[in-house]
Copies of this chain bind each other. A is one copy, B any other.
Amino acid sequence: MSEDDPHKHKWFHDHLTPDLTLLHSIREVTYSGQSKFQSIDIINTNSFGVCLVLDGKIQSSEHDEFIYHEALVHPAMLTHPEPAKVFIAGGGEGATLREVLAHRSVKQVTMVDLDREVVDVCRRFLPSFHQDSFDDPRLELQFADARDFLEKNKDSFDVIILDLPDPIAEGPASLLYTREFYHLVKQRLDPEGIMSVQAEPASYHDLQEFAAIANTLKSVFPVVRVYQTHIPSFASMWGFITASAKLDPAGLAAEEIDSRIAARLSRELKSYDGYTHVAMFNIPKHIRQRMAATERVSTDQAPISAY
C-alpha cells in the first residue's frame, strides 16, 4: 500500500459535536490503556504526529501543541511583572510546565494532576512535549484533585494556570469550571496575580462553553480577557481567558510583548509574539456578538458540560 493510498485503514474518530466527526488517519497506536479516571491513548497520526488522547479526545498533538501551550501560558505570565510562584492544574503532558519554566523569574512551580498514569505515560512517550521539565528542581508535582489540593493548601501564587480536560457531566473536571471553584482560585492568587484557563472551542458554531466560562470568571474577577487562536489538530479556534484583579494583557502593545519575551524568557518562542498577541486578542465581530448573547454561568449546582 503506497503512502498516498486513499484507502488508509486505521482511523481515529474525533467526535467534535453530535453532527461533526473528524477522522485522522493513524500511522501507529503506540499505547492504549485505562486508568482509574479515563482511557489513555498515544496515537501517532499522519497529519499531526504523536497525540495524547484521553477518553477519545485529542488533548494535544506533537505538531501543534506549541501553539496551544504558548497561548495558554505566556499572555498571563508576561502580563505579570515578575512571576515567581506558579500553580498548574492538569497539564499532564508537561508542556504547560515547559513553557512556565522558560520564564527566568520562576522560582517554584506547583503542578497538581489527578491521574498519575497520564503523567507516567506522557513522560515515557512524549519526550518532545515535556523536554525533561519534570526533572526541573523548581517543580513540585502532586497527584490529587486540584480543587481538593487548593482547599487544603493555603499557599498563594503569582500565576495560576488551569490546563484541564473538557468539563463533562460526571467527569473529573466537571467542578473545575464553576464559580465556586474560581472563588477558591481567587483566594489562592496573590492580589497582584493573574490566572489563565484553557476555555474550550471558540469557533462561531461551537462557543457556548467558552462564553459560559467567560461569564463565570466575570462573576468572580474584575478584569477578564478572552482570546483565541487556531489549533489545527482540534479543527477549531480555541478559547483562552485570563482573569485578575488588575492585570490586563489586552492593554499590551505588540512591541511591548516582543520586548518582554526578549528580556524574560530563556529561549525563543515558536508561535507567540507581538503580532500573534494582537491577532489573538482582537475577536472578530460575529464571535463577540454570539458570546455577548450567552448569559450562562457555571455553578456547582448547574455546571456546564462540553457534550
CA distance A7 to B204 in the complex (A): 24
Query: Chain B residue with minimal CB distance to A57?
Result: B9
Residue of B nearest to A64 (CB): B204
| In the assembled complex, A22 has its CB within 8 A of some CB on chain B | yes
A47 touches B29 (CB 8 A): no
Q: Say yes or no: A45-B19 contact (C-beta < 8 A), given A10-B12, A28-B29, A204-B232.
A: yes
- Contact indicator A278/B278 (Cβ below 8 Å): yes
Give the complex CA separation of A276 and B283 in angstroms. 6
Copies in the complex: 4
Q: Which of A48-56, A116-124, A210-218 contacts B (4 or more CB under 8 A)?
A: A48-56
CB within 8 Å of B: which A86-115 residues: none
* A interface residues with partner B (beta carbon < 8 Å): 1, 4-15, 17-26, 28-29, 32, 38-39, 41, 43, 45-48, 53, 55-56, 63-64, 66-67, 203-206, 229-230, 232-233, 235-237, 254, 269-273, 275-276, 278-280, 282-286, 288
Given the complex of chains A and B, what is the CA–CA distance between A7 and B205 in angstroms?
Answer: 21
Asked if B8 contacts A19 (CB within 8 A), the reply is yes
Q: Which residues of B contact A204 (CB under 8 A)?
A: 63-64, 67, 230, 232
B-side contacts of A32, CB under 8 Å: 10, 28-29
Cα distance A287–B24 when bound, in Å? 22
Report the Cα distance A204→B41, complex, angstroms: 24
B19 touches A13 (CB 8 A): no
A35 CB to nearest B CB, Å: 12
A1 CB to nearest B CB, Å: 5
Which of the listed residues A9, A43, A56, A205 has the most CB atoms from chain B within 10 Å of its own CB?
A9
Sample of 21 A–B contacts (CB below 8 Å): A1-B38, A1-B55, A6-B6, A6-B15, A7-B15, A8-B13, A9-B12, A10-B32, A11-B11, A11-B12, A19-B25, A19-B47, A20-B47, A21-B23, A22-B22, A22-B23, A29-B32, A67-B284, A205-B233, A275-B282, A275-B288
Residues of chain B within 8 A (CB-CB) of A279 are 278-279, 282-284
The 9 tightest CB contacts between A and B, nearest first, are: A9-B56, A29-B29, A19-B46, A279-B282, A6-B6, A276-B284, A19-B25, A278-B282, A21-B23
